[in-house]
Amino acid sequence: MYGRGWRKFYEDNNLGKGQMVVFHLDEPSPTASILWFQVGNGSKDEQPMEEGYPIEDSDSGNEDGEASSDDGEGIVRTRGLLLNEIEDAQLQGLLPLSDGFIGFAFVHRLTRTDIRLGMMKIPKKVATATPFEEQGVVGISVDGRRFKKISYKTTDDGRIVFGSKKWKNFTASRGLKVNTVVLIGFKSSERDDVHVLVILKKLR
């Protein structure tokens, strides 16, 4: 589940670690039961999340940029992405992107895989709507300033993967960290040595 409805349900019910939600869908009026149980020894790392606490995407293969959904706003979000109220308000303030952008914009919460391992992936749905070649070079920046050239390649499942070493250097130099939410837009490039311009906007 994803989108504003799930986020509102999550926040309204103060869901967190150690809680289980059971949906009763075979009744005339579907209901949900919320169960709480102790996980582990009650240490700091095992306490339920506080309401509004940003949720980091899983590093599993199904969550790290692989599966995505178009929420009707002309953007694609990482599946399962939840935004807090501040992040959601900032996102709405950035939309719609200007006419110079092409294809789908991509909203993603940076994970440990993205930052520490340097494995940043663009979903197939986003890649196919943008003029990526099978492999090449992108010019990437935060807020359209100080573009850095980074190589990329297309995986067998149609996703775009940026070159690990230069992507890691880029994130470190631009202050991109685990759990940062970014809106990623794409523009055509007029340079022969760069196929696509990639512009990130941080939701603070």
200 contacts: CB under 8 Å, gap ≥ 6: 140, 141, 142, 143, 174, 176, 182, 183, 184
Please state the domain extents for the chain.
Answer: 4-46, 68-203
Per-position pLDDT tens, the chain of length 204? 555 667 666 666 666 665 677 766 666 666 666 555 444 444 333 333 333 333 333 344 434 444 455 555 689 999 888 899 999 999 999 998 888 999 999 999 999 999 999 999 999 999 999 999 999 999 999 998 889 999 999 999 999 999 999 999 999 999 999 999 999 999 999 888 999 999 999 997
Which CATH number applies to 68-203? 2.40.330.10
- The predicted structure's pLDDT at residue 80: 84
